């Protein structure tokens, strides 16, 4: 029986995340370059926040993270999708609001039972 390690996949993911930074890196003298680097950093920060939120939702046993779509923009998180109950709508918001980096939440989740 073969066993696989996640190390090659983790390395590939880190390299993939670093590629946008490398693509926008310049000598730093041009303001357009700096602005592009800042936007890329914001994108990566939002992507990291979205990943952190998805992981927290998966870890919460009373939620089905597959039912919840997460988007973040400059730290403002939008939750959308349909969950089983109003209690799960509230729980998803509580899980997200406790995470570092979340500046606000647009909870657009709908409950099937309402």
Q: Which domain, by its residues, includes 31? A: 7-111
pTM across the whole model? 0.63
Tens-place pLDDT, residues 32-51: 555 655 555 555 688 999 99
Is the residue at 65 inside a domain? yes
- Per-residue pLDDT, 3: 47
pLDDT digits over 69-113, tens only? Answer: 999 999 999 999 999 999 999 999 999 998 999 999 999 999 998
H or E segment to which residue 81 belongs = strand 76-83
Q: Is the pLDDT of residue 10 over 70?
A: no
Residue 80: inside a domain: yes
- Contacts of 28 by beta carbon, 8 Å cutoff, 6+ apart: 34
Alpha helices in the chain (DSSP H): 7-24, 31-59, 86-97
Per-residue model confidence (pLDDT) at position 11: 54
* Tokens encoding 2: 């073969």
Domain annotation covers residue 1: no
Give the CATH number, domain containing residue 47. 1.10.287.4300
How many structural domains does the chain have? 1
């Amino acid at each position: 029986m073969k066993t696989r390690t996640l190390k090659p996949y983790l390395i590939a993911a880190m390299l993939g995340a670093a590629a946008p930074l490398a693509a926008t890196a310049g000598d730093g003298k041009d303001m357009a370059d700096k602005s592009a680097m800042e936007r890329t950093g914001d994108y990566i920060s939002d992507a990291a926040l979205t990943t952190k939120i998805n992981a927290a939702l998966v870890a919460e046993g009373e939620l089905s993270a597959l039912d919840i779509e997460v988007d973040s923009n400059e730290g403002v998180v939008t939750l959308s999708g349909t969950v089983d109950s109003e209690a799960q709508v509230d729980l998803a918001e509580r899980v997200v609001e406790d995470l570092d980096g979340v500046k606000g939440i647009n909870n657009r989740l709908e409950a099937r039972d309402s």
